[in-house]
Amino acid sequence: MRAYLDPILALVWKDILLELRTKDIVVSVLVFSLLVIVVFNFAIEPSPANVGIVAPGVLWIAYIFGGVLGLTRSFGLERDSGNLRGLMLSPVSRDAIFFGKMLANFLFMMLVELMVFPVFAVLFNLPLWQPELLPIAMLATLGISTIGTLFSAMAVSTRAREVMLPLLFLPAAVPIIIAAVETTGLVLREQELTDLAAWLPLMAAFDAVFLVVCPVAFHFVVED
């Protein structure tokens, strides 16, 4: 088990170290997400009547489209100086490489989400402390980073990878995005949290499917 986990943790350590040096992913995703929230805030003028309806969509648009930027960069930096080949030459299974990259993407996306949420809450006059959103964000981000990592690896070999990634990723991520928007809406509208019981298992089920299918598909993506 440790032999399997070590390379995964090594990849995460390497990606965190690179991010601390370059700040490429977190800064670009953070700036993009904040811009989306600010622009929507001016465009829709949130009021107590509409905030519960529009705010969940705005929040997840900011997270998802910002996340696409980070996902593009994720395998881009591996491809740039042939490092993807370096990873493939390591005596570790392809799925360990997949999980290492996926875990790093998950951590970066969660970090940005945690940084963006307070700004969102202030601009849309919502309570800052909403612990019910944490499991929703974690489940949604897990699914998004899992499927996003696969499509990032797929798109990085194509000529127009910045265009290709959202084209591949967004349709596949739709079930998770819908569930995330619906559950976030329930929390922000302060509706009965028992309604969450219908959505959270659905998200967990999609996550489970993605976690099984994506590492297997990754083998075929990186094989020549």
Partner 1 sequence: MPRSSRGDKQKMAQSPSQLPPAIAARGLHKSYGRAGVLRGLDLDVPWGEVVIVLGSNGSGKTTLMRVLTTLTRPDNGSVLIGGLDPHKLGRQVRSQIGVVTHDPLLYDDLTGYENLRFVTRMFGLDRADERIEVAAERLGLSARLHQRVGTLSHGLKKRFTIARALLHDPKILLMDEPESGLDQESQTTLDTLIRDPATSFRSVLITTHSPERAAAVGDRVAILAKGLIAHTEPIGRDTDPDAIRRLYAEHTGPGQ
Interaction residues for partner 1, span 1-30 (CB under 8 A): 3, 6-7, 9-11, 13-14, 17-18, 21-22
Binding flag, residue 189, partner 1 (CB under 8 A): no
Q: Which of 42, 128, 131, 224 binds partner 1 (CB under 8 A)?
A: 224
Q: Which of residues 90-129 bind partner 1 (CB under 8 A)?
A: 90-93
Minimum distance, C-beta of residue 7 to partner 1, in the bound complex (Å): 5
Stretch 30-59 residues interacting with partner 1 (CB under 8 A): none
Quick one: which segment of 36-44, 76-84, 150-158, 166-174 binds partner 1 (CB under 8 A)?
A: 76-84
Residue 113 C-beta: closest distance to partner 1, Å = 25
| Residue 4 vs 198, nearer CB to partner 1 | 4
Q: Cα-Cα-Cα-Cα dihedral of 76, 80, 82, 88, to 10°?
A: -10
Residues binding partner 1 (CB under 8 A): 3, 6-7, 9-11, 13-14, 17-18, 21-22, 77, 81-83, 85-93, 223-224
